[in-house]
Amino acid sequence: MASCNTTVRMRLADTLRFARDAALGYPLRTTLSVLAMSIGVAAVVILTALGDGARRYVVGQFSSLGSNLVSVLPGRSGTGGFNPANAITSTPRDLTIDDAAAILRAPAVRRLAPLTVGTSEISFGGRLREVMVAGTTRDLLPIRNFELAQGQGLPDEDWNRGSSVAVIGAKIRSEMFGSEPAVGQLIRVGDRRLRVVGVLKSVGQGLGMNTDELVIVPVALAQAMFNTNTLFRILIEARSREAIPEAREQTLAILKQRHRGEEDVTVITQDAVLETFDKLLGTLTLGVAGIAAISLAVAGILVMNVMLVAVTQRTGEIGLLKALGAPARTIRLAFLAEAAMLSTVGAVVGYLLGQAGAFTLRQVFPVFPAYPPDWAVIAGLSTALGTGLLFGVMPARRAARLDPVQALMKH
């Protein structure tokens, strides 16, 4: 009886092969539970790809607005909406070209562009259309990352002078000039005759203004055209990312001094907006992942049901294994291995399905970066395996605890 001192232990490879054969022995059952698990994992992958894609899309759009950007708006309200405090006190003081020139002296400010906007009519050779007119200075283009297709930007001149030139968007160019060259031509905008000095590159629709249908003119000219003294906005580029808060402080201080100690402007930093969206959409992705994770838990419960059915179906076999000398541990491991296999295969299939789904999304919507974030993939896969194992424990224990005499009678 010396052999009784060595512990009976089924080899790992044998346990796995036995579990695999058992799973393959019931194809429908196995397919269904693998399917449930894979749908759960695929849901996590695709939904988080959507959520994170939305986040990346918005962040990308904001970055394309220009880097290290600080915007000054006339008026006190933080969101740009109606603020009753403004109505009760006084209308805000104008934000003028001179204000903009003064801000340029702030050490943290690299360059800036005052902006006045309005709509007007443009005509050339009998063709007429309504356009958005932006009055600004030379630096708007580099600040907003706008690129020229032909010609040059606005001249570097006294901001109050306003020479009769214009830079037009790509769509305006094709609509007004067709195949003719545009640069050097005289166009009529409102009641002014302006010479086209440059054409912007086509960029398509973005979160900012659509430059394809824009006419850019010197700021003083635009103010004269629209008969206004105030600016719509001042776009400021800070010297660096770190200098953004400084630029904001200095801008506010200069304007407060110029406006008789009244802080009647709103300064928005791009970072703050970006961070808000980033956080918001990040949380959204997390929430969506959480909802998808519920389907993983459901899949886990399904694996448990399938394994419980397996234990009932194979009661006779379990009795036999016991009679043949399998200790409880061996039976537990065999059933646990089977549950783990179902969820592993389900997780892998689901991962591939999810990646394929995200790929399809990216093909259909090329602008939308629908990549699942790594954390979601790892969390999805490990939740799948975890629930599979967790819910596999109970059926495995039940199998191991079966009374061999009773079990053998069920055949």
In the complex, the residues that contact other proteins under the rule CB under 8 A are: 1, 3-4, 7-11, 14, 18, 21-22, 24-25, 316-317, 319-330, 404-405, 408, 411
The nearest distance, CB 279 to other proteins, in angstroms, is 54
The nearest distance, CB 302 to other proteins, in angstroms, is 22
Which of 139, 105, 138 has its CA nearest to residue 258?
105
Pick the closer one to other proteins by CB: 208 or 327: 327
Pick the closer one to other proteins by CB: 274 or 328: 328
The nearest distance, CB 56 to other proteins, in angstroms, is 49
The nearest distance, CB 403 to other proteins, in angstroms, is 8
Strand pairing class (148-151; 186-189): unpaired
Decide if 219 contacts 114 (C-beta within 8 A): yes
Pick the closer one to other proteins by CB: 40 or 319: 319
| DSSP E strand stretches across 8-152 | 69-74, 109-124, 127-136, 148-151
Pick the closer one to other proteins by CB: 7 or 90: 7
Longest dimension (CA), the chain: 113
Task: Write out the two tokens for 42.
Answer: 């695929």
Pick the closer one to other proteins by CB: 96 or 330: 330
Distance (Å) of CA 233 to CA 27, 95, 213, 311 = 67, 8, 19, 72
Q: Which amino acid is at 94?
A: D
Pick the closer one to other proteins by CB: 2 or 364: 2
Distance (Å) of CA 265 to CA 42, 97, 109, 160, 197 = 49, 14, 17, 22, 34
Pick the closer one to other proteins by CB: 3 or 79: 3
* Helix, strand, coil shares, percent, the chain, to 5: 55, 15, 25
The nearest distance, CB 345 to other proteins, in angstroms, is 18
The nearest distance, CB 411 to other proteins, in angstroms, is 5
Pick the closer one to other proteins by CB: 319 or 354: 319
The nearest distance, CB 20 to other proteins, in angstroms, is 11
The nearest distance, CB 21 to other proteins, in angstroms, is 6
Residue with tokens 């790509």: 170
Q: What is the DSSP string of 285-311?
A: HHHHHHHHHHHHHHHHHHHHHHHHHHH
Q: How many residues does the chain have?
A: 411
Q: How far apart are CA 303 and CA 227, in angstroms?
A: 73
